[in-house]
Amino acid sequence: MVYALYNPSCNVNIWNLNYQCLASVIDLGLQRDVRASPSYQISLFTQEMRTRVFWVTYTFDRTVCTMMGRPIGLRDEACEIRFPLDIPDSNLMNRTANQPMSLEAPSHMSYSIHLFKLAQLNSEIKYVMHSICRDAPAYAYPPVKDIFAWQRDMMRSLQEWQSAVPQPPRDQDTGMTAYCHAKYHETMVLLLRPSPAIPAPAPEMLDLCVQHAFMLLQCFGVLYDAGRLLYSRLAVHAVFLGTLVLLHGIWKLPETATRFRMDELIRRLNTAQSILSSIGEHWAEAASARDCIAQLSNLTVQRLLKSQAGPGEIASSPMRHRLRDPGVPAAQLQHVDQRSRVVQGQSSTSYEDDPTLSWQAGLLGQPPTATSSPPSEFLNLFDDLLRCDFEGWSGVSDLDGLIREIFSSSQHES
């Protein structure tokens, strides 16, 4: 399963493989909380490995189902939830369950347990917001009566999860903190974007979703610049969807575009194209996603420049030429982007704070209220693009459909 996710060119069907893993978990009873007792002797090593294998499979199931827009395979109520102990592999053989844990620096298990908790929140979002049938049968759990109150509670839960991300010493940072922040923004996008439960989010929620998509690309840029981004199907999906949500929100809410500096917006779009270009050298679907983003990004920047400047100023604007050409090598793109960071005096390792975003100070409070702005003549341009024929895509009515069509067409071509 891990090999298939991180080597997309192997053409292994991860959906079928995911269900084979779930079947093995159930067949071995790993979803049950089995512990040592007087009547059943089991070592701590065996107990913890059973729990770890279950949680890895559980997390893969939630991740794959979310990425592919399909139902969850193993429901939460069928499992006895117990998180593994925060014990490094080196100490697992020489420790007992009742032995106190020392206050050490976060281990790889610290981050794993924290990501397992996020998988539970992801699971709840899938159940509540992304179920196709909105009328729960009588034998199911009681439905959520106030979806908007539930959404606000889930936002607080995700914010609490982010605030509890393990913080390693500066000299021991492996990039997992930045990765956890990226997963936080990715899950917030899943919560706030249009879904079967809330097909038309309020403008302030869609605006907040766009801000998280922007920060998602910034986190991936940090990992990419530091050489710590692992190329996988998951990275392609997160970067591609985050960019589409960002562009979609800019066209849906013209006032949202005013929250970003133009050079910052172009930098994030360039980051997405750089990552997809690098992955596209090994996987054709990533190159197709990059080409789609390049077309939409170029048109978006040109329209924004046109709305901010006179006709004579657009052709001479340096911003117009900074958007990346998908044919440029990834190494050259990264050099240009790093050089632009130096010019702007920005740090390439800062992902938590961005002085260009006035909304970030209110993330832990209520969602920002959309500010008034002049109406835009290009309000529905992005929606029209999703329904038209450009460069070989037939057109769909939603973002998930666009992703499926691009990936499917690339698979048929190869």
- Is residue 297's pLDDT more than 70? yes
156 and 266 inside one domain = yes
154 and 74 inside one domain = no
Fill in the amino acid letter for 250. I
77 and 154 inside one domain = no
- Judge whether 360 lies within some domain: no
* Residue whose pair of structure tokens reads 């059973």 in the numeric block: 50
63 and 149 inside one domain = no
Q: What is the pLDDT of the chain when averaged over all its residues? A: 76
15 and 120 inside one domain = no
More confident residue, 254 or 29: 29
Q: Determine the Cα–Cα distance for residues 296 and 401; give it in Å rounded to an integer.
A: 16
Which sign does the torsion angle of CA 58, 63, 215, 152 carry? negative
- Judge whether 250 lies within some domain: yes
Short-list 262, 252, 261, 249, CA closest to 358: 261
Q: Give the total number of structural domains in the chain.
A: 2
255 and 387 inside one domain = yes
The domain of 15 spans 1-81
Helix (H) or strand (E) run with residue 342 in it? helix 330-344
245 and 393 inside one domain = yes
- Is residue 230's pLDDT more than 60? yes
Q: Quick one: pLDDT band at residue 211, thresholds 50, 70, 90?
A: very high
What does the pLDDT read at residue 368? 39
34 and 118 inside one domain = no
69 and 217 inside one domain = no
pLDDT tens for 244-262 read 999 998 888 888 888 888 8
50 and 116 inside one domain = no
236 and 287 inside one domain = yes
What does the pLDDT read at residue 145? 82
Short-list 148, 82, 88, CA closest to 367: 148
- Judge whether 371 lies within some domain: no
- Is residue 400's pLDDT more than 70? no
Range with the poorest average pLDDT among 96-110, 176-190, 361-375, 399-413: 361-375
- Is residue 45's pLDDT more than 70? yes
- Judge whether 345 lies within some domain: no
More confident residue, 92 or 409: 92
Q: Quick one: pLDDT band at residue 358, thresholds 50, 70, 90?
A: very low
